Amino acid sequence: MAGEEQDNVWPLPKFFFSVEISDIGRVSFQEVSGLDVETQVIEYRAGNSPVFSTIKMPGMIQSSNVTMRKGIFVNDNKFWDWFSQIKMNTIARKSVTISLLDQEASPTMVWKLSNAFPVKIQGTDLKADGNEVAVETLEIAHEGIVIENGG
């Protein structure tokens, strides 16, 4: 029966994922956000239209920057090194693959970012009376997301 098949389907948990950046390799991040895409809306009204409102059409596709947070480790400057390569209108662009994993660590959903480069790195805040882990934030811009389903 079709109903029985649906009973065994569960939403994917979001806590088991991996991030791989070309030329850097697999990096352990605590959080990834900004995997969204939207289209701009173009409004148009012809001068001889009898309707006193605009029509709406899809326009250019726009992707948000992706923000990733990870713990700071001793002698781990790979993102600062990548960011320091920025010169006037030039930067080493990399491909980024973000994979949502199942219990066997196989990718179930994959987001591939093309031509990614860092636009912001934020170091940790420092607090004398705190007991949290030092976390840095990397924000990257890219030129599009391709989504692939695993399995």
Q: What is the DSSP letter of 7?
A: H
What domains can be seen in the chain, in order of their start residue? 9-38+65-149 (2.30.110.20)
- Outline where DSSP puts E strands in 8-144: 17-21, 25-27, 31-33, 37-44, 55-63, 66-71, 94-101, 107-122, 135-141
Owner of token pair 């882990």:
133
Query: 3 or 109: which carries more pLDDT confidence?
Result: 109
Query: 18 with 26: CB under 8 angstroms?
Result: yes
Distance, in Å, from the CA atom of 29 to the CA atom of 15, rounded to the nearest integer, reads 11
pLDDT tens by residue, 76-125: 889 999 999 888 888 889 999 999 999 899 999 999 999 999 999 999 99
Residue in 70, 72, 71, 65 with CA at minimum distance from that of residue 33: 65
pLDDT tens by residue, 16-53: 999 999 989 999 999 999 999 999 999 999 989 888 89
What is the token pair recorded at 47? 């001068």
Is pLDDT of 2 > 70?
A: no
What local confidence, expressed as pLDDT, does residue 52 receive? 87
Task: Write a three-state SS string for 22-57.
Answer: CCCEEECCCEEECCCEEEEEEEECCCCCCCCCCEEE
